[in-house]
Amino acid sequence: MRSLKYMVDFILLSCFVFALAGESAHAQTDDKSNVPPKITLEDIWASPKFSSKYIAGFNFAGDEKSYLRLSGNDILRYDITSGRLVDTILVGSALKKPNGESLLFNNYQMSSDGEKFLLATEQERIYRYSSKAHYYVYDKATGELQVLHDGDKQMYPTFSPSGDKVAFVSDNDLYIKDLFTGAVQQITEDGKSNHIINGASDWVYEEEFSLTRAYEWSPEGNFIAYIKFDETEVPEFTMEMYNDDLYPERITFKYPKVGEKNASVTLHVYNLDQDTTILADLGDLEYIPRLTWTNAPERIIAFTMNRHQNELQLKLTHPVNGRHTVLLEEKNPYYIDINDDLYFFSSRKWFVWSSERSGFNHLYLYDMNGRLLNAITSGDFDVTSFYGVDEERERIYFQAADDSPMTRNIYYTDFSGDKMVKINPNEGYNSGQFSSTFDYWVNTFSTINTPPEYSVLDNEGNTVRVIEDNADLRSLHESYELKRPEFFNFMTGEGVSLNGYLIKPRDFDPDLSYPVFMFLYGGPNSQQVTDSWKGANYWWLQMIAQEGYIVACVDNRGTGARGQTFRKMTYLQLGHYETIDQIEAAKYLGTLPYTDSNRIGIYGWSYGGYMSSLCLLKGNDVFKAAIAVAPVTNWKWYDTIYTERYMRTEEENPDGYKNNSPVYFADRLKGSYLLIHGMADDNVHFQHAVEMARALIAANKQFDTYYYPNKNHGIYGGYTRLHLFTKMTNFIKEKV
């Protein structure tokens, strides 16, 4: 659960993807006339009608000239250029577990040689990214299926580089299985729930550093480096689950809130040849957010950070003696975001690293002494993804927001960075997945009005073929005769240029006056105003527009792809500038000749719920109503890594907390407020909603509230989303 800024992607995508990739959707009109159909909540939240197709289980095969994808419970291999079915890797229905039952797997992982497959069954979700399952290893050559481990479910299994072993975590301990002998070796023995974790991360690392598997094989497969989390002194949080029992089930886990103790982390290295483990000496540190290896000679790269997260060191660590040297050090006046933009050349001479040292995120070339050689990219734009290095052709591939913060392009450049060559054919939002040889890549392209298209391209950007174009969904979209979202830009009273988009009703009449409904997220480095497909939320916003509303979305200061100054100016004051910008956006929208400035509502989820709450309270003369789903209501109740990165502790920054937490402004409520929260939210705890309700009651303010038992931060499952969006839709129609 990376951080709050990624919550919207989770909400709009992961919960709404129906794995019915082959199913077509066809629009039906309301009657036999030419009147276009109306979008319904049932269409969006209770059926796959508006779901886009995607490439389930896509992976480039070992030969790099074909790819694998899931088809039901089968893994199939296709030729990358023709799309011809080359091979059936496995037929799931033919695989039997030891008890004779058919093997139904949730996902798969392939060994580097493409000969063995890890298959996950009975997968059980833990937090946002983490899960555990029973795993089986399938050998393509022999057709043999073997159980990975007879004990409890396993987490994060990975093949060794040679594919002859699998490492995994079970019951907080690290194991290795030899696939030839079948022997399982337990590497650690001190794992204990809510105390010691070996090779897997704790809650806060998973959520805020996107680190789940906390171990890495060495390139030769003779070492495993792993992080040990000692969370014994981390305070616990308890949630209650309601399951028709006499007493609720209590779920207790370690959750470090602002200023509290984090887990103590140490780096260990297991030597497979000698069956020994060492403790690496990394010196003083608070966090180890990443582990990786150089290719040769084998050295561990441990990222270490201080608690303020404004100092980062890459420590080159010896796997035998545990000693380190500092390869690179970064310092920032605000904070440093962790990413995976690091590549070591096979020549052992250079590495690529990304930094905001120029004020924008760019790629740089260093030698193995940590000396900067040259900038690979430069300019007033951010590099937003690093895809890798084609050493043979001397090319570096990356994604950039160079034309506009609202679009993305794919480029390559040489090692000197003299010339950027764009290789995506379409203007809009492009993201790439490259083969290891960089001969081919798959581009995912969309616009705000165009569902995703998946195409195979060569390394010069020539389209080889389209794998999936979502033609049915495009046709469906056209049949509804919707008003296409329109991008706009306006200047605030403080002289800040902000981007937005708006959706007008289908039967829009410029001579009428329409109420305004605003949607936002607004958190650090997030973006909502991009020329990209918005998933299920797009259809709901269109449905609100068809009910006679002008729907609008604006990206405030603090959001991404506009450089460090714009993004980090909210440091120590989360919510302050963002709220000013959203209030100004509402005022701007209220000046349009076809809007009613007295009827403006706003809605957000997670950080967006925090923002919608602040907007209604601080902008009580501008906003008539607000919906807040799973909002942070006081930063002191959120976790250490996220909150301290942007706000430091409450003791260090009392004014920042006091001036920007909604609970302290409950007495300003004038409009209508709908507060919604999942009671099993492990991320933004239900505590936030309860304390907000308590503050509103103390101020004698009326409000509406909805709570969802046993539901986490995403509030989904069964009819939950339909139920939730029915309530929100009715609230908008009644209050805005």
Long-range contacts of 485-492 (CB under 8 A, 24+ apart): 485/448, 485/449, 487/406, 487/448, 487/529, 487/531, 490/585, 490/588, 492/580, 492/581, 492/584, 492/585, 492/588
Average pLDDT over residues 176-192: 97
Average pLDDT over residues 296-309: 93
Q: For position 33, what pLDDT does the model report?
A: 59
Alpha helices for 314-459 (secondary structure H)? none
Average pLDDT over residues 696-702: 98
Residue 605 has pLDDT above 80, yes or no: yes
Token readout for 734 is 């009644």
One DSSP character per residue, 441-477 reads EEEEEEETTEEEEEEEEETTS-EEEEEE--HHHHHHH
Instruction: Tell me the C-alpha distance between 19 and 23, whole Å.
Output: 9
Percent pLDDT > 90 in the chain is: 92
Angle of helix 576-590 relative to helix 607-618, nearest 10 degrees, comes to 70
Residues 79 and 69 sit within 8 Å (Cβ to Cβ): no
Q: For position 22, what pLDDT does the model report?
A: 33
Among 67-76, 276-285, 352-361, 727-736, the minimum mean pLDDT is found in 67-76
Confidence class of residue 563 from pLDDT cuts 50, 70 and 90? very high
Q: For position 63, what pLDDT does the model report?
A: 81
Average pLDDT over residues 187-207: 98
Secondary structure class of 440 (helix, strand, coil)? strand
Residue 303 has pLDDT above 70, yes or no: yes
Residue 699 has pLDDT above 70, yes or no: yes
Token readout for 74 is 């089968």
Nearest to 713 by CA among 3, 7, 5: 7
Average pLDDT over residues 570-585: 98
Residue for token digits 């496995």? Answer: 90
Average pLDDT over residues 298-310: 97
Average pLDDT over residues 493-509: 97
Average pLDDT over residues 346-365: 96
Residue 719 has pLDDT above 90, yes or no: yes
Sheet bearing 131-139, strands edge to edge: 107-110, 116-125, 131-139, 145-147
Average pLDDT over residues 410-433: 97
Phi-psi category of residue 78: left, alpha or beta, with phi > 0 → left and psi -120 to 50 → alpha: beta
Residues 166 and 148 sit within 8 Å (Cβ to Cβ): yes
Q: Taking the chain, what is the end-to-end CA distance rounded to the nearest angstrom? A: 33
Diameter of the chain by CA atoms? 81
Q: For position 332, what pLDDT does the model report?
A: 98
Instruction: Tell me the C-alpha distance between 625 and 616, whole Å.
Output: 7
Instruction: Tell me the C-alpha distance between 95 and 18, whole Å.
Output: 25
Q: For position 48, what pLDDT does the model report?
A: 94
Residues 230 and 195 sit within 8 Å (Cβ to Cβ): yes
Average pLDDT of the residues of the chain: 94
Sheet bearing 372-375, strands edge to edge: 342-344, 350-355, 362-367, 372-375
CA angle 591, 593, 595 (to 5 degrees): 70
Per-residue pLDDT tens for 391-408?
999 999 999 999 999 999
Instruction: Tell me the C-alpha distance between 227 and 75, whole Å.
Output: 33
Instruction: Say whether the peptide bond before residue 297 is cis (omega within 30 degrees of 0).
Output: yes
Q: For position 34, what pLDDT does the model report?
A: 77
Instruction: Tell me the C-alpha distance between 17 and 471, whole Å.
Output: 17
Nearest to 42 by CA among 668, 573, 721, 501: 721
Residues 210 and 129 sit within 8 Å (Cβ to Cβ): yes
Percent pLDDT > 70 in the chain is: 96
Instruction: Tell me the C-alpha distance between 673 and 606, whole Å.
Output: 15
Confidence class of residue 348 from pLDDT cuts 50, 70 and 90? confident
Q: For position 26, what pLDDT does the model report?
A: 36
Per-residue pLDDT tens for 8-28?
333 333 333 333 333 333 334
Average pLDDT over residues 36-57: 95
Q: For position 62, what pLDDT does the model report?
A: 82
Q: For position 282, what pLDDT does the model report?
A: 98
Per-residue pLDDT tens for 448-477?
999 999 999 999 999 999 999 999 999 999
Average pLDDT over residues 266-270: 98
Secondary structure class of 582 (helix, strand, coil)? helix
Average pLDDT over residues 636-640: 98
Q: How many residues appear in the chain? A: 736
Q: For position 347, what pLDDT does the model report?
A: 85
Among 27-31, 89-93, 319-323, 508-512, the minimum mean pLDDT is found in 27-31
Residue 284 has pLDDT above 50, yes or no: yes
- In this structure, which topology does domain 189-338 adopt according to CATH? Methanol Dehydrogenase; Chain A (2.140.10)
Among 27-31, 224-228, 283-287, 494-498, the minimum mean pLDDT is found in 27-31
Residue 525 has pLDDT above 70, yes or no: yes
Confidence class of residue 231 from pLDDT cuts 50, 70 and 90? very high
> Which residues, 6+ apart, have CB-to-CB distance to 671 below 8 Å?
616, 620, 623, 624, 625, 626, 735
Return the HEC string of 368-379: CCCCEEEECCCC
Average pLDDT over residues 580-585: 98
Alpha helices for 385-445 (secondary structure H)? none
Among 138-152, 191-205, 591-605, the minimum mean pLDDT is found in 138-152
Please identify, in words, the CATH class of the domain defined by 483-735. alpha beta
Instruction: Tell me the C-alpha distance between 60 and 399, whole Å.
Output: 20
Q: For position 368, what pLDDT does the model report?
A: 94
Among 104-108, 333-337, 374-378, 682-686, the minimum mean pLDDT is found in 104-108
E strands along 171-295, which residues?
173-178, 184-186, 196-198, 215-217, 223-230, 236-241, 249-254, 264-271, 276-279, 287-293
Q: Locate CATH 2.140.10.30 in the chain.
A: 189-338
Q: For position 64, what pLDDT does the model report?
A: 83
Residue for token digits 């089968």? Answer: 74
Confidence class of residue 295 from pLDDT cuts 50, 70 and 90? confident
Q: For position 330, what pLDDT does the model report?
A: 97
Q: For position 4, what pLDDT does the model report?
A: 41
Q: Locate CATH 3.40.50.1820 in the chain.
A: 483-735
pLDDT winner (highest mean) among 11-25, 45-59, 88-102, 255-269 = 255-269
Token readout for 51 is 């779901």
